[in-house]
Structure 1
Amino acid sequence: MDRATAAALRPAEHFTGRSLLGLFAVVGAGSGFGLLLMLVRFQWDPMYRVDHGVADQLNDFVSARGPLVTVLQALTDLGGRPIMMWLVGIVAVGLLIRGQRRLAVYLLVTGVGALILDPSLKLLVGRIRPAVDVPVASAPGNSFPSGHALGATVAYGALLLVFLPVASRRLRALAIWVFAAIVVLVGFTRVALGVHYVSDVVAGWLLGLAWLGVTAYAFRLWRRETGRPVPPITEGIEPEAADDLAPASREDHLLPHPRSSTAEIITGWVLTFGVLFVFGVLVSRYADGTFIERLDTAVPRWFAEHRTPALDDVSWWLSKAGDTHAILAVSLVFCPLAVAVLRQWRPVLFIALAMFGELTLFLASAAAVDRPRPGVPHLDGPLPTSSFPSGHIAATLCLYSAIALIVMSHTSRPWRWLTVGAAVVMPAAVAVSRIYRGMHHPTDLMGAMLLAALWLTLLWWVVRPDAGDAGEQTEAEPASDRQLAVTAKT
């Protein structure tokens, strides 16, 4: 064999020498997908009978069970494009923050490749989605291959390869089984909901595994060309990055005194609810003939008299900024980035408790006070909760104020004031839109402000998200004692 041939075969020799089983797996997955593609294109009768038979039987079983449909629709979102793009995108940004540019590029290239393969092959094959007797779900585009199965395989598989170095050897096996379970579950939901055939899902799995294998192999060659050792794939694709990949520091205790902190939070929740209940009853039942009643009547009426179609549209968008989906979306972006930058779980705990407490306080107060909506046309129609306090305004206040508190306590950069501006502008915009749309009185806004002020103050005092790791200091050995001990030894 001449030198040119040997040089050309060296990458393949390296791959087979390190992981012959991996080579067979990638080739087998690609070949299996190609075979399924040909069978679908030529409409092979035995496969079509299986596909239609399974689709009809599952539809008969699922369509008669409404709660099961709801569960399946929730589970299928685990493989949906929004979740996949959020996962890959937010992790890639976190990797860039931690200085792991190579891993960020790997994630983005792998994810974008799946986004390209899915619609391209759907357009090429042109297979129509199943037509079942009782449709329980719908999906745009063609059927082959399943984009959810492909996306789940690629996204969760790539994340698994990136984060394997963080897990111990015992946990790695568990992580692989969890990955496999999620991928299989997502594929099953697509067939059970009647939007894909079995062959569509299997093709998505095979194509995802093939693409995952190709990108992982390319990354391993990249390492080899830069002179780095190529570890077994079971160690992850960048084992030496384990310290940077760990989401946060290993805290002995998230809070220094978990039991007393829990008791303080529960007690504070009860007291906050009591204050809200008293305030709500006073303004809604005992304010007749006072300035408060005139204010609550005049302001919604004034806004109702000055409505225009353009302002209706603007108020709808501003109101949406305070609904559950928007609040959850902002939380799911900020919290992972906060962990990536700060390497602490405590700020995330602060956000989680702030939003959970806000939701429960709002629901409890609304049910207890049971205040009617303002006496003007309601642009949002009837809602299941009462008027006091405003849940939209309270959620917006708690979220953006909590973000501002965390950012202001951890950086002195000038841009930190943008979070303070958001904590003022966003709640104000949501408040005006909710009153404009006839959904709340001005005192409902006051109730939301009272809720946010009391609850966030309590959590700041108990959780202390501006502090360092709770595990670094314990009651038995405070920081000052440890410093004295070190000084005495030296």
Structure 2
Amino acid sequence: MTVGTDTGAQPDAKERGGILQRPLEHFTARSLGGLVAVVVAGIAFGVLLALVRFKFGPLYDLDHGVADSVNGYVSDHEGLLNVIRFVTDLGGPLKVWAVVLGVAVLLIRRRIRLAVYLVIAGLGALVLDPTIKLLVGRLRPVVDVPVAHAPGNSFPSGHALGSFVVYGSLLLVFLPAVPRRWRPAVIAAVGTLVALIGVSRIALGVHFVSDVLAGWLLGAAWLGITLYAFRLWRREDGRPEPALTEGLEPEAAQDLKPAPTERAVLHHPWVGLAEVLVGWVLVLGALFGFGMWASYHADGTVIAALDDAVPRWFAEHRTPMLDGWSHWASKAGDTHTILAVSLVFCTLVLARWRQWRPILFLTLVMIGELTLFLSSAAAVNRPRPDVPHLDQNLPTAAFPSGHIAATLCLWTTIALIVMARTDSWWRWLSIVAAVVMPVIVTTSRFYRGMHHPSDLMGALMLTALWVGLLFVVLRPNAEAVKADAGDDLQHQDRGVRRFARRSA
């Protein structure tokens, strides 16, 4: 009997060779293309460096002409200047925190290879910028109306270099988590951000045009080198070579997605929204009632006596050292610190537990705190204590304390989320922070003469009512409780099965 062979299922040697050769050809073509791009960027940077060193006339005229004309325009438009400062801040120390946070997320999701890539790319940019600035030694522009100041030398622009590398590497790492239809828009947005950061340095008069171009070219070269090295690393592991539009590791898409397994953030969002809005109005009414009484109708009470005695006692015990301490302690409750801690915590929660509900909880807590504070402060309009103030020209009134309320809301919310989601010993640190941080901020605000004790009571009332309301309405830990219950049932089932096997 003759056994037939399926020639369609078994390609011949020539076909097998073609199939095996195709990925190698793709890898070679992409690698050569990347190498050419890196070499071109490096050569362009070298040429630009030489032109700057030898003060090439046309480039010299372009640099100084643009610096003078842009400075003359920007210095006359304060609103535009504020926008430019905001954009340039995105290329400052914030990009370092973006890398740190990105690495933390990747480590939590156990994508070690991508975390190493981010660290190497970021460290390279951090080393290249000061090194080349020191070697070139170019002074910064001198303009008629200085609107910003920056330390160190000028060439190349560290903001342009760093933003190109940091935001470019973050894009390459997290691009697989972006839906395909949105990827062109995300790539364009990142490119626009990097371009605007570079232009902002020229507009502020702290860099020449050639400084920014050099930063972009050097950033492109370094990003290309790290990208090529990463692809070689993948090739050694026998992994396929993806297109750039697929990101560095397309197979990591499921791990990089924020919350791939969450079914629904809220089951009845419109009902929850109505409850939150009604609760906000009621909390505002309670704050207004207590604030008006404590501010204007509490004469002769213990609260009035404390409101007068406590600020005076702190004012009488001021020292230069404590003045400095109170300044930094007060910063722990200002808007920038609260926002930074909130963003970091939300990112880590999303990376660790892959749920949006606790993030929605914290977001609504902080938005509600801000709006309740601003509304009640404007309605009550309470004067600051009658002692010398160490903080001047504050835009809001004394009741309730915004610093204390924000600190209480933030750290209380963090403790509520963490305590329900882990059994590790370190969860008790969230309780410690929820107690210690408000005490530090409260003491500093009293010391600096900015608040009465009843302002603290208002902050406590705001926190208790608002956080309590949102906790009941949103149930931020409901999914965590269900998961724990499921784990307990599985554990019990395993125990029952083991007992049954032993009995048998």
* Other-structure match for 1:30: 42
Which of the residues 203, 214, 217 maps onto 1:203?
214
**Where does residue 61 of structure 1 map in the other structure?**
73
Corresponding position of 1:40: 52
Displacement, 1:253? 4.1
Structure 2 counterpart SS, 1:278: helix
User: Does the 8 Å contact 2:442/2:456 carry over to 1?
Assistant: yes
Quote the Cα distance in structure 2 between the aligned partners of 1:235 and 1:390.
Answer: 49
Q: Which residues in structure 2 correspond to 1:118-137 (within 5 Å)?
A: 118-137=129-148
Aligned partners of 1:310, 1:51: CA distance in 2, in Å?
46
Partner of 1:21: 33
Deviations 1:256-301 (A, max 9, x none): 2221211111111111100000000111111111222112112222
Which stretch shifts more, 225-234 or 199-208?
Answer: 225-234
Q: Choose which of 217, 233, 237 in structure 1 pairs with 2:244.
A: 233
Mark the runs of 5 or more structure 2 residues left unpaired by the alignment.
Answer: 1-23, 484-504
One-letter identity of the residue aligned with 1:102: R
In the superposition, relative to structure 1, how do residues 203 and 331 fare at CA in structure 2: closer, same or farther (>3 Å)? same
Alpha-carbon distance between aligned partners in 2 of 1:47 and 1:280, rounded to the nearest angstrom: 63
Task: Calculate the aligned-residue CA RMSD, in Å.
Answer: 1.8
Q: 2:357 aligns with which of 346, 365, 369?
A: 346
Q: Choose which of 431, 446, 456 in structure 2 pairs with 1:420.
A: 431
Match status 1:175 vs 2:175: no
Paired with 1:382 and 1:159, the residues of 2 have a C-alpha distance of: 40
Paired amino acid for 2:358: P
Larger radius of gyration: 2
Matching of residue 436 in structure 1 with residue 455 in structure 2: no
With 285-294 and 85-94 compared, the bigger mean Cα shift is at 285-294
Alignment-derived partner of residue 78 in structure 1: 90
Specify the SS of the correspondent of 1:194: coil
Comparing 381-390 and 436-445, the one that deviates more: 381-390
Preserved CA contact (<8 Å) 2:35 2:228: no
1:70-109 equivalence runs, <5 A: 70-80=82-92, 82-109=93-120
- Check 1:132–1:313 CA distance in 2 against 1; reply closer, same or farther (3 A cut): closer
The 4+ residue runs of structure 1 with deviation greater than 6 A are none
Structure 1 segment 119-268 matched on structure 2, within 5 A: 119-249=130-260, 251=262, 253-268=264-279
Deviation of residue 48 (structure 1)?
Answer: 0.8
Q: How far off its partner does 1:378 sit? A: 1.6
Q: 1:98·1:244 contact (CA, 8 Å) conserved in 2?
A: yes
**1:318-360 per-position Cα deviation (integer Å, ceiling 9, x unaligned):** 2221111221221122111111101111111111111111111
Q: CA deviation at 1:468?
A: 2.4
CA contact (8 A) 2:34 2:228 kept: no
| Letter in structure 2 aligned against 1:242 | A
CA contact (8 A) 1:15 1:23 kept: no
Q: By how many angstroms is 1:461 displaced? A: 1.4
Q: SS where residue 396 of structure 1 aligns?
A: helix
- Give the counterpart letter for 1:335 in structure 2: C
Letter of the 1:92 counterpart = V
Partner SS, residue 79 of structure 1: coil
Tell me how far apart the structure 1 counterparts of residues 177 and 350 of structure 2 sit (CA, whole Å): 15
- Relative to structure 1, the CA distance from residue 377 to residue 404 in structure 2 (aligned partners, 3 Å threshold; closer, same or farther) is same
Q: 1:447 aligns with which of 442, 453, 458?
A: 458
- In 2, Cα distance between the equivalents of 1:168 and 1:373? 52
Secondary structure in structure 1 of the residue aligned to 2:384: coil
Q: Does 1:328 align with 2:339?
A: yes
Moved more, 172-181 or 148-157: 172-181
Deviations 1:349-408 (A, max 9, x none): 111111111111111111111111112222223422111111111010000000000001
SS state of the match for residue 423, structure 2?
coil
Contact 2:266 2:474 in 1 (8 A): yes
Q: Which residues of 2 match residues 109-124 of structure 1 at below 5 A?
A: 109-124=120-135
Match of 2:20 in 1: none
The 1:306/1:132 distance shift into structure 2, 3 A limit, reads closer
Q: Which amino acid aligns with 2:444?
A: S
SS of match in other structure, 2:479: coil
Residue 500 of structure 2: aligned partner = none
1:436 is displaced (CA, Å) by 2.0
Superposition TM-score, scaled by structure 1 size: 0.90
SS at structure 1 position matched to 2:90: helix
Q: Describe how 1:277-292 pairs up with structure 2 within 5 A.
A: 277-292=288-303
Question: What is the number of equivalent residue pairs in this alignment?
Answer: 459
User: Post-superposition shift, 1:249?
Assistant: 2.5
Q: Does 1:388 align with 2:399?
A: yes
* Greater mean deviation of Cα atoms: 373-382 or 110-119: 373-382
Structure 1 CA distance for aligned equivalents of residues 357 and 431 of structure 2: 20
Structure 1 residues 49-58 or 103-112, which shifts more? 49-58
Question: What's the offset of the Cα at 1:227?
Answer: 2.3
Q: 2:311 aligns with which of 300, 306, 313?
A: 300
Q: Is the aligned partner of 1:51 residue 2:29?
A: no
> Contact 2:137 / 2:154 at 8 angstroms: preserved in 1?
yes
2:31–2:228 CA contact under 8 A, matched in 1 = no
Per-residue deviation at 1:251? 4.8
What displacement does 1:149 show?
0.8
Q: Distance in 2 between matches of 1:420 and 1:163?
A: 33
415-424 vs 326-335, which moves further: 326-335
Instruction: Give the distance between the partners of 1:312 and 1:171, measured in 2 at CA.
Output: 51
TM-score (norm 2): 0.88
Deviations 1:171-215 (CA, angstroms, capped at 9, x unpaired): 222222112111111111111111111111111111111100100
Mapped to 2, the partners of 1:116 and 1:13 lie a distance apart of 35
CA shift, 1:303, in A, is: 2.0
- Percent same amino acid at aligned positions? 64
- Aligned AA for 2:41? A
